[in-house]
Structure 1
Amino acid sequence: MINGIIKALGTIEKIGSFIAAMFMFLIMVIVFSDVVMRYVFNRPFSWAYDLIALYLMAGVFFLILSEAYASNAHVNVDILQQKLSPVGIRLTEMVTCIIGIVVFSLIAWFGWQRTLDSYRAADVMAGAIPWPMWPSIGLVPLGAGLLTFRLALHLVGHLLSLLTGRDIIPLPTSHIASEAETFE
């Protein structure tokens, strides 16, 4: 059952990653076009910075959080884990998941509250175009919520791995590197 949930979450994360990649592509197109408009036609886009800073960069960051964690593409300080047994590594991963769940669920909750407040108040950004603020703010609870769910699944998976002796959630290969592969 947990594998089905992980697969479904992975599909959602892939969709978020695709959208983040499209946002990154849009950033490149907008920046290039803005430079051409500025230096060739002396008519830069007045909206480019606002769109990129408010929406696209937030989307790139928050829509990729959960998949980055799932694929171990995040920064990981594992110097102590290299000295631990697989059981010890799982226990430290569980502690990490618990701390992450607390932190990111709070970010998701308060982000959601802020999104609702912004929507109800019809907040807009002062600038060339009055961009509504709530879609940008809403990316925070979306990304943090997905990561919280991923962390909860990993916590359960690590616990089940300890209890059953099967790798429900496999340990990253960087955690179980041999002595010859370390910098020490």
Structure 2
Amino acid sequence: MAAERSRGGGEQTADAFTGGKLFDTVFSRGMALVEETASYLDGPGRENAKTLDREPSLTYAAWSMELTTRLMQAASWLVMQKAVRDGEMRREDAAAKKYRIRREEPPLDTRAQKGLGLPPRFLDLVEKSEALFEQICRLDQALYGPQTAAGASNPVFDQIAQLQKAAETGAFDPLMVWHKAR
């Protein structure tokens, strides 16, 4: 019963987020940034890239790929949350590891690149995209809990999962769960 209440509380928090104005704001801002970045990279950015010296050109190419990847991950996460809100996807499915989002690489450091030949507009888009990606990662963690590194096990979360499973099946024996974890 307690597990149902705590799980229900998490779902209520997630539902309150996706059903609220904050989500609408993040969603709109995120999608607008995806469009703005795509327009820049396909238009003025493509023209600017042709005029760059060798070093800035290499950085621009690498960062463009990273920028696009992170924006697509953020946009996919936002669309998935919208699908959950609209009843097109179950929250449990959205919580699956394959749909989670987290930063695995350090953010692109725009401050270190200022004045080194990259277009200021490009650096501005990178900075905005990094901020959005970071916000989405924090939201994911707040809604679905922290993730461990790939293949790593978190004993605390493993034990909590065992307790929840035992409570849900009616076979709640805290000592049995505790002995298994040891």
Q: TM-score, normalised by structure 2?
A: 0.39
